[in-house]
Amino acid sequence: MKLIREANDVSKTELAIRLKVNRKTVILLEKGDRLPSLEYIYNFCKMFDVLIELMLN
């Protein structure tokens, strides 16, 4: 997720705002300390035009 976010020049704060989550959640997800919900994965993929299958593998 971090690679996709950074490749699209999106900050952690901007991602958190656009996906309606806390910035700390983004940090924990990118570090692998927390698993994303299906809703988060869906919205993330939609935002960055990424196939959801890539995120689920």
H or E stretch including 7?
helix 2-7
23-34 per-position pLDDT tens digit: 999 999 999 999
Residue 50 gets the label, from left (phi > 0), alpha (psi -120 to 50) or beta, of beta
Q: How far is CA 37 from CA 7, 9, 21, in A?
A: 22, 23, 11
Closest to 42 in 3D by CA, of 53, 57, 30? 53
pTM metric for this prediction: 0.90
CA-to-CA distance for 25 and 51, rounded, in angstroms? 22
50 phi/psi in degrees, rounded to 5: -115, 140
Total structural domains in the chain?
1
3-57 per-position pLDDT tens digit: 999 999 999 999 999 999 999 999 999 999 999 999 999 999 999 999 999 888 7
The CATH code of the domain that includes 18 is 1.10.260.40
Q: Containing domain of residue 13, as a range? A: 2-56
